[in-house]
Structure 1
Amino acid sequence: MACPICSKDSTPRYRPFCSKRCADVDLARWLRGEYTIPGPPLDDVPSGDDEKG
């Protein structure tokens, strides 16, 4: 399996990454919001607080 950051072979210790550096790069991208999960904008999703009961 290739590392998703640099395409080198992954190592069992950091799988799916090849090193701690690449794992940290991936984590930083998540924390900065560079990755998104497809779906409707949160403003369009009902929160459930609108229900009365």
Structure 2
Amino acid sequence: MAESIRIVACPTCRAEVRWEAQSRYRPFCSERCRLIDLGQWASENYRVPAEEETPPGELPPAAH
């Protein structure tokens, strides 16, 4: 049985990328798209939402 190759969209330019070991920059289509994405993270254009956690044993700040 022939193995099917998964095709994904490059997160930067949306080009089709074959998801296989030979796809050096997967999920990106090229080094250029990979570096563009890295630059977005480095310049803080992309952010992961987070909530501040209260360390164990401390009271949370008072709500005003």
TM, length-normalised to structure 1: 0.71
| Stretches of structure 1 lacking an aligned partner (at least 5 in a row) | none
Q: CA contact under 8 A between 1:5 and 1:22: conserved in structure 2?
A: yes
Higher helix proportion (structure 1 or 2): 1
Aligned to 2:15: 8
- C-alpha distance 8-36 of structure 1, shift in aligned 2 (>3 A): same
How far 1:15 moved relative to its partner? 0.2
Higher strand proportion (structure 1 or 2): 2
Runs of 4+ in 1 over 2 A off after TM superposition: 44-48
How far 1:22 moved relative to its partner? 0.1
Q: Deviations over 1:22-45 (max 9, x none)?
A: 0000000010011111222xxx43
Q: CA contact under 8 A between 1:10 and 1:19: conserved in structure 2?
A: no
- C-alpha distance 39-22 of structure 1, shift in aligned 2 (>3 A): same
Q: Deviations over 1:1-53 (max 9, x none)?
A: 0101000012511000000000000000010011111222xxx43357x6xxx
Identity of aligned residues (%): 39
